[in-house]
Amino acid sequence: MNNQIEKVFIEIEKQIRKTIAKNTYVSGEVYVAGFWLFYCDCQTIGQPCFGYNIIGNENDFKWSPSEWVVDVEENMVDALSQSYNKLSELMQGSSEEDWEQLMLYQYDFYTTLCKDLNAEVSSDLSPFKTWNTSKDFIVGVFEEQESEEFYTDLINASVGEDVAIKLDVV
């Protein structure tokens, strides 16, 4: 990926962490947070949605962001929109292959970010430190639009295969 795009993703990570840390609207014990609904049409790339769910609201859709108590955190949408507009501007005139590479880069970025957030969730560095999280709390990429195989790959990459199996995510 080119240097300008990498710089935008560095800014996106800062915005995500800051927005999570500022979220004071969480009520209940949160067992999952995640990114989903990634969008790209080879002219525009949209920010993914960020959502979370609380214990007691699992029903039959425990790992389905569209059914979570907060499926789209509007503060995250607002925080990321400028950076995603910048990405779309930087990609104007690019080939379809370049856009596909950007999407793969983005998936890698988010799975790595989730892995990092999971690793630090109980530390003072975690942006989730003020959230009421369960002992098995995870952050992942739950991209329901993709094939089951790709969905599983993203889950395993973002939370770890052992955790995904233990919690029956996949």
DSSP secondary structure of 119-141: HTTTSTT-TTTTS-EEEEEEEEE
Contact 54, 28 (CB under 8 A): yes
Tens digit of pLDDT for each residue in 12-59?
A: 999 999 999 998 667 889 999 999 999 999 999 999 999 999 998 887
DSSP 3-state of 38? coil
Residue type, 97: E
Q: How many structural domains comprise the chain?
A: 1
For 80, 122, 131, 147, the CA distances from 86, given in Å and listed in that order, are 10, 33, 31, 28
What are the phi and psi torsion angles at 93 (to 5°)? 85, 0
Whether the per-residue pLDDT at 124 is higher than 80: the answer is: yes
Residue 106 clears pLDDT 90, i.e. is over it: yes
Question: Are 157 and 128 in contact, with CB atoms under 8 Å apart?
Answer: no
Domain with 57 in it: 3-166
Structure tokens at 72: 């789209």
* Range 75-90 average pLDDT: 96
- pTM here? 0.95
What are the tens digits of pLDDT across the range 126-162?
Answer: 999 999 999 999 999 999 888 899 999 999 999 999 9
Q: Check pLDDT > 90 for residue 93.
A: yes
b/e map 96-110, b = 16+ CB within 10 Å: eeebeebeeebbebb
pLDDT in the model for residue 115: 98
Cβ neighbors of 170 (< 8 A, separation 6 or more) are 151, 152, 155, 156, 164
Q: What is the pLDDT, as a whole number, of residue 97?
A: 96
